[in-house]
Structure 1
Amino acid sequence: MKKFIPIIVVGILVLSGLGAAAFTTNVSIKQATIVKNESTSVLFSSQPTQLEKDGFVEIEMNGATTQLLELNKPVLPIYVKTYQIPFGSTNIQVICSPKDIGTMTLTKEVIPARIAPLSIMSERTAYVKDSSVYGSAAFYPSNWYSYDLGAGRNQNDQEVTFVKVVCYPVRYSPLNNQVDYAGSFDIVVKYNAPKTQPKTLDTSYDLVIIAPAAFETKLQPLIDFKNGK
């Protein structure tokens, strides 16, 4: 049976006599920073391929894990890798280096993404092109990679920091009708490991009450009731 624990916050004021000297001693113990890194090499087995569809081309690449799908923007292959590092890590850095970069001329424009419920999606649904992308010579995406940080619990119920790295092996320049592509990526995630393990609350307790000590007597019946269930 899970228990219920109260935590009472008590404030204590200590006064020592008049005329007493006051002083503070600060003790600083410096610990060495532990720098760690995780690395991955990603190899794409061939250059991109073009498949014609509905007056556009679809770009495919062996080794990609999914597609970049932004409404009305070009559909491109991407590679996603998620790292799990200790919760509380600091100075997190991601370095993603594209290798063996090549260029390919396209026969048609890259197909734009259509995002809609399957119940209303059909081949007759009109394609819409985002003019800010299709009307530009700038490469889309603008960089070879991006990353996001998040925190949560993994499949082992451990609290971790998630580092999601997205590599863009194909970048499209619409007005130039070409793509630049990478044959491989070297990914490195560097971070300062936490000096101490994060504190966790004992899971045998369902609920914790934090209250001033003055409420202890009034809260005790509730505590007894909860612990008796």
Structure 2
Amino acid sequence: MKLQALFIALLMVVPVVGIFNEKYEAKNETESIDNIHFQDDGEYIKAIATDALTLRLPGYPMLPYYTKTYEYPVGTKIDSIDVMARGINRIKLEKKISPAPKAMTHNMKISEMEVKEGDIYFEDTFYPENWYDYRIGVGIKDGKRVIFLTIYLYPIRYNAYRNEAMQATDFEIKIDYRMPEEAMLNKDEYDLLIISPDSW
């Protein structure tokens, strides 16, 4: 009887840990990219885009890309990431897009950089394979741990075998996620209390 009473008392006072109310949310936005052009570069041409980064995998076409970074509190669950490329145009090019050279060593001159077409130039495939990619990681910002979601947008995909480019003018981005709320009871705010009759 005493054991049963103790068990009931424990159930009444032990804090509830790990029970969260999750709030479902979605983020929708459109990213427009209309500042891309091709520039003659001697034997090759370059794909130029304002404020863009450049893919520089040696032997692969140098193509512009953009990044979008989103921050969420730790505990957020990202359920889905959907990116749709819109306004796609096919462009037949007169010259090939220049391949990225090998990485320079500390004592190498720019004139010594080797520019060589990789196997991708002889394959009937578009590079990058998809219009976007993403990475999810955890980091520190302003002294707090946060989740970083980085989406990479590739407005140009290039097929060197056909010497043809596909260019997207807009990207529709949709992110479905669940934001955690504070636990119903916090284990740091409650002490364990055992209540028993005086005869114990």
TM-score, scaled to structure 2: 0.76
Q: 1:69 to 1:157 in 2, by over 3 A?
A: same
In structure 2, which of residues 30, 41, 45 is the aligned counterpart of residue 41 of structure 1?
A: 30
Deviations 1:199-219 (A, max 9, x none): 9xxxxxxxxxxxxxxxxxxxx
In structure 2, which of residues 145, 157, 166 is the aligned counterpart of residue 159 of structure 1?
A: 145
Letter in 2 for 1:56: Y
In structure 1, which of residues 112, 116, 125 is the aligned counterpart of residue 99 of structure 2?
A: 112
Deviation at 1:30, TM superposition (A): 7.2
Q: 1:118 to 1:105 in 2, by over 3 A?
A: farther
Deviation at 1:86, TM superposition (A): 1.3
Alpha-carbon distance in 1 for matches of 2:180, 2:24: 10
Q: Are 1:55 and 2:61 an aligned pair?
A: no
SS at match of 2:169: strand
Q: 1:121 to 1:38 in 2, by over 3 A?
A: farther
**Which blocks of at least 5 consecutive residues in structure 1 are unaligned?**
1-15, 200-229
Matches within 5 A, 1:45-84: 45-46=34-35, 48-62=36-50, 64-84=51-71
Matches within 5 A, 1:56-205: 56-62=44-50, 64-114=51-101, 115-117=103-105, 119-131=107-119, 133-154=120-141, 156-196=142-182
Alpha-carbon distance in 2 for matches of 1:65, 1:196: 39
Residue number in structure 1 paired with 2:195: none
Alpha-carbon distance in 2 for matches of 1:29, 1:83: 25
How many residue pairs get matched?
178
Q: 1:29 to 1:167 in 2, by over 3 A?
A: closer
Structural RMSD (CA): 3.1
Aligned residues with identical type, % of pairs: 22
SS at match of 2:30: strand
Deviation at 1:65, TM superposition (A): 2.4
**Which blocks of at least 5 consecutive residues in structure 2 are unaligned?**
187-200
Alpha-carbon distance in 2 for matches of 1:95, 1:59: 26
Alpha-carbon distance in 2 for matches of 1:137, 1:38: 36
Deviations 1:93-125 (A, max 9, x none): 211111111011111111111222364141342
Deviation at 1:84, TM superposition (A): 0.5
Letter in 2 for 1:35: Y
SS at match of 2:111: coil
Alpha-carbon distance in 2 for matches of 1:65, 1:84: 21
SS at match of 1:34: strand
SS at match of 1:162: strand
Deviations 1:114-138 (A, max 9, x none): 222364141342212221x111111
Deviation at 1:39, TM superposition (A): 3.3
Letter in 2 for 1:122: I
